[in-house]
Amino acid sequence: MKKITILGSTGSIGVSTLDVIERHPDRFEVFALSAHSRVEELAQQCKKFQPRYAVMSPANNAASQLAKRLTELNVSTEVLADAGTSAGALEAIASHDDTDYVMAAIVGAAGLAPSLAAARAGKRVLLANKEALVMAGQLFMDAVKQGGATLLPIDSEHNAIFQSLPRDYEAGLHQVGVKKIILTASGGPFRTRALSDLQNITPDEACAHPNWVMGRKISVDSATMMNKGLEVIEARWLFDAKPEQIEVVIHPQSIIHSMVEYVDGSVIAQLGNPDMRTPISYGLGFPERIDGGVATLNLARTGKLEFEALDEDRFPCVRLAYDAMRRGGTAAAQLNAANEVAVDAFLSNQLAFVDIPAVIESVLSKVSFTNAHSLNEIMAADADARELAHQAVIERRMVSRL
């Protein structure tokens, strides 16, 4: 029986993970759950899965609200809380001796510290929280090695690449005959939209992804294609790839989840319906295959699989991410921080959709880049970039009012 901690259990990935776990009561048990603000949803999950611990973020007294609700529901789950920050309690459930697997499914920089704690504690880390690797790639991969953790990518592209690589790829991509990693991208909801329309895009339009149902932040990232930029950086760290070994191709159907090209010209791909329960099941069952309730792929019904080149003028975020990756040090953490602030501002109607890349570019032109040897250095760089991004958002708003 494997005991599982889910960081971010009320989110899109968290809910899909619980759905897979529920199908295998003989294999998996929920050890701990966490959420940011949705008290009632977490209470209902606790009622159903009876975890030993639950963690709520400290804002709005959510932990005591949850504890009260659990008492009413007669659930014995213990609510862990911290003064000021939830990081301590999240790290505790991520690294607890009694948990085997940790699903890292918090969105954004908030997921870094607990994901890192799971890696250091030698857990099987199912990594959905790509921002953790983008911010702290070297530190994270070192923690995985030193902690003896097993890192399994849950992001569908990286899971596809993992499945398409030979098991001994850690010897080095060159060593195992890999020429290139090819990340597929759907192109999001605005792939063919007239550029002049993008000025007035609303948050709901940006979150209406043609193939995937996801949380709002990653949905906006998919619409700007910063998601693919972050994934390029994620691939660089997960597979120790050089920037020039990572390519992006648009594939609007999201059936091929990514590919690996070998020196002999072979290209190995992983296909499937766009359903995150496939990579989640893979991560939970590995090295076995388990049923995650995913519908059978019907290629005859799909009909066409199409491909096209990425339009960098339409999607400048991909170039910004490649630039940050090549620069190294804290640059990717600063890119990520600026993006989080810009996306947040867009989602709360404080920034135009087309100004998201402009805010990021302005931040990256002002920050100073340093080494990323420690979590402190990375968090300081993250904080600086956030500050500059908030200023850039205000400046853009003032310009757009003129």
Minimal distance in Å, beta carbon 228 to Mg ion?
Answer: 8
Minimal distance in Å, beta carbon 363 to ligand NAD?
Answer: 20
Closest-by-Cβ residue to ligand NAD is 11
Residue of 29, 91, 155, 384 that binds Mg ion (CB under 5 A): 155
Torsion of the alpha carbons at 110, 59, 341 and 216, rounded to the nearest 10: 80
Task: Write the CB contacts of 128 (distance below 8 Å, at least 6 apart in sequence).
Answer: 8, 13, 103, 104, 105, 154, 155
Coil, helix or strand at residue 267: strand
The footprint of ligand NAD on residues 197-216 (CB under 6 A) is 212, 214-215
Q: In what order do the strands lie in the sheet with 267-271?
A: 246-250, 178-185, 256-262, 267-271
Q: Which stretch binds ligand NAD (CB under 6 A): 6-14, 93-101, 190-198, 235-243?
A: 6-14
Q: Kindly report the number of other CB atoms within 10 A of residue 83's CB atom.
A: 6
Q: Which is nearer to ligand NAD, 102 or 362 (CB)?
A: 102
Length of the chain: 402
The answer to whether residue 99 forms part of the interface with ligand NAD (CB under 6 A) is no
Largest pairwise CA distance in the chain:
63
The answer to whether residue 275 forms part of the interface with ligand NAD (CB under 6 A) is no
Q: What is the rounded distance in angstroms from the CA atom of residue 218 to the CA atom of residue 220?
A: 5
Q: Which stretch binds Mg ion (CB under 5 A): 6-14, 23-31, 155-163, 178-186?
A: 155-163
Residue of 45, 57, 222, 278 that binds ligand NAD (CB under 6 A): 57
The count of C-alpha atoms lying within 13 angstroms of the C-alpha of 198, restricted to the half-sphere facing its C-beta, is 19
The residue type of 278 is T
Q: What is the rounded distance in angstroms from the CA atom of residue 28 to the CA atom of residue 30?
A: 7
Minimal distance in Å, beta carbon 156 to Mg ion?
Answer: 5
The answer to whether residue 127 forms part of the interface with ligand NAD (CB under 6 A) is no
The answer to whether residue 12 forms part of the interface with ligand NAD (CB under 6 A) is yes
* Number of residues near Mg ion (by CB under 5 A): 3
Instruction: Summarize as ranges the residues that interact with ligand NAD (CB under 6 A).
Output: 8-14, 35-36, 57, 86, 105-107, 110, 128-131, 155, 212, 214-215, 217-218, 276
